[in-house]
């Protein structure tokens, strides 16, 4: 793996480039912190965005869905733009113009491919479950072959894209600091709740450690 | 406002349609709960997705950015797909295949327009601040005309799109309920933190009520 992505015409950070990054460590940390992503693609010349979950394995991100999904069919060997974004807080400034958000985001560009080999597909889906809940997959009922057939797994090499990050307090105009206006940050974060057992769990089956906290955030 | 959006070829819910909705009450509630959105558009035949914040006023959603932004320039009078999604929890089933997430999402399609009139632009941006923090805008330093020039506001009529929702526990295969596997839901939610005052706030300026909780979630 190269440590930084090459800067291309579409991944070059034009605005507020001081908040941007092309290094893999920054990009990977954001991908690993937030599974929710938006996959953008073009169908008959029109834009489509599908929310789904992504997971990273090494130099690739993967996502999945039903083989019947038009979004995934359209993604087969076609260009996508995959976006992950995390809202960390609202930045309240002394003017409306300087209000902003603290956030972390990654945008990736590339051609999605379909994971066709059944054994590899199974391995990727197992990795997906274990990515969020380490060790869970091995304790599950093994997948049925027909389930695997109904699931499409797509991959995207992490080769073109960028990260963007903003943190800290407001940046106001110098003269505005003299105004008696409250400024600051209202943090937001993802909270993991206590696991809610299925009422149909068998007696004596206790909550596994992995269910107490998915590996996100 | 009509109470439901007409179902079109691209807004028709093909998969798991029992989880979908075209009624405005459902769509509006999701838009109002989560300002973070992804705007998808096509530029030179390729897909782009930009994360930004949206706010709803009546029958429109709006978003904004720098007039210099290529994403917003591209959105001027061009087709977009705007996507909002909220992750409510991970649903852990007894097989990998039946793992899913509880979530709420909205997908809107349409042609974005630019709010050109300066007075209307100002009114929209004020509404954006007050949408999240009711009453804040009136207490701020008034916007400078040049700030307004540097900001582009885009709007999209809420006319074509759909919502998708999933809640509740796992749905396993009938025979799998006999397995001693823990199943259930791991809830996730957005948490609002305590406001962090800017160290440069003037003495005696206290935290306004609106900063204790943005109107989201």
Looking at this predicted complex, what is its ipTM? 0.93
- What is the band of A15 on the pLDDT scale with cuts at 50, 70, 90? low
Tell me the mean pLDDT in the region A113-135.
95
pLDDT at B1 over 60: no
Q: Which fold has domain A17-167?
A: Pnp Oxidase; Chain A (2.30.110)
List CB contacts (< 8 A) between B182 and chain A: 197, 201, 205-208, 211
pLDDT at residue A70, as a whole number: 67
The chain-wide mean pLDDT, for chain A, equals 92
Q: Is B211 on the interface with A (CB under 8 A)?
A: yes
Tell me the mean pLDDT in the region B75-80.
78
Q: Is A209 on the interface with B (CB under 8 A)?
A: no
Q: Is B113 on the interface with A (CB under 8 A)?
A: no
Report the residue of chain A nearest B186, measured CA to CA: A195
Report the residue of chain B nearest A170, measured CA to CA: B198
| Residue B36 · residue B51 · CB < 8 Å | yes
pLDDT in tens, A24-68: 999 999 999 999 999 999 998 999 999 999 999 999 999 998 766
β-strand partners of A110: A80
| Percent above pLDDT 90 for chain A | 78
Across the A/B interface, how many CB contacts are shorter than 8 Å?
Answer: 271
pLDDT at A1 over 60: no
| Residue A49 · residue B40 · CB < 8 Å | yes
Instruction: Tell me the C-alpha distance between A122 and A118, whole Å.
Output: 6
Point out the residue among A142, A187, A202 whose CB comes nearest to the CB of B180: A202
pLDDT in tens, B122-145: 999 999 999 999 999 999 999 888
pLDDT at residue A3, as a whole number: 86
DSSP characters over B48-91 = EEEEEEEEEETTEEEEEEETT-HHHHHHTTSEEEEEEEEEEEEE
The ranges assigned to domains in chain B are 17-87+102-167
Query: Which of A56-70, A150-164, B82-96 is the least confident region?
Result: A56-70
pLDDT at B197 over 70: yes
**In this complex, do A95 and B194 lie within 8 Å of one another by their Cβ atoms?**
no
**In this complex, do A69 and B15 lie within 8 Å of one another by their Cβ atoms?**
yes
| Residue A42 · residue A80 · CB < 8 Å | no
**In this complex, do B186 and A192 lie within 8 Å of one another by their Cβ atoms?**
yes
pLDDT at residue B66, as a whole number: 73
pLDDT at residue B19, as a whole number: 82
pLDDT at residue A73, as a whole number: 67
Tell me the mean pLDDT in the region B110-133.
94
pLDDT at residue A72, as a whole number: 62
Report the residue of chain B nearest A36, measured CA to CA: B87
pLDDT at B183 over 80: yes
DSSP-H helix ranges across chain B: 24-33, 70-75, 118-132, 145-149
List CB contacts (< 8 A) between B40 and chain A: 38, 40, 47-49, 81
**Chain centroid to CA B183: how far?**
30
- For the domain bounded by B17-87+102-167, which CATH number is listed? 2.30.110.10
Q: Identify which of A108, A120, A115 has the alpha carbon closest to the alpha carbon of residue A153.
A: A115
pLDDT at B15 over 70: no
pLDDT at residue A146, as a whole number: 83
pLDDT at residue B146, as a whole number: 83
Radius of gyration of chain B (CA): 21
| Percent above pLDDT 70 for chain A | 92
pLDDT at residue A134, as a whole number: 96
pLDDT at residue B179, as a whole number: 98
List CB contacts (< 8 A) between A190 and chain B: 188-191
β-strand partners of B164: B20, B105
- What is the band of B10 on the pLDDT scale with cuts at 50, 70, 90? confident
Tell me the mean pLDDT in the region A114-121.
92
Point out the residue among A151, A182, A206 whose CB comes nearest to the CB of B205: A182
């Amino acid at each position: 793996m190269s440590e930084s992505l090459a800067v291309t015409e579409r991944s070059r950070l034009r605005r507020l480039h001081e908040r941007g990054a092309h290094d893999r460590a920054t990009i990977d940390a954001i991908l690993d912190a937030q599974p929710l992503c938006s996959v953008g693609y073009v169908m008959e010349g029109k834009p489509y965005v599908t929310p789904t979950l992504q997971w990273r394995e090494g130099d690739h991100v993967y996502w999945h869905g039903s083989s019947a999904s038009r979004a995934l069919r359209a993604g087969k060997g076609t260009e996508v733009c995959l976006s992950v974004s995390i809202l960390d807080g609202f930045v309240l400034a002394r003017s409306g113009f300087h209000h902003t958000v603290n956030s972390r985001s990654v945008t990736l560009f590339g051609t999605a491919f379909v994971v066709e080999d059944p054994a590899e597909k199974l391995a990727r889906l197992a990795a997906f479950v274990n990515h969020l809940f380490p060790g869970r997959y091995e304790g599950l009922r093994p997948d049925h072959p027909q389930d695997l057939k109904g699931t499409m797994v797509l991959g995207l090499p992490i080769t073109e894209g960028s990260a963007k990050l903003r943190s800290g307090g407001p940046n106001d105009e110098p003269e505005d600091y003299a105004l008696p206006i409250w400024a600051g940050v209202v943090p937001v974060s993802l909270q993991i709740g206590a696991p809610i057992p299925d009422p149909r769990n068998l007696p004596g089956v206790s909550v596994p450690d992995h269910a107490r906290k998915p590996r996100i955030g």
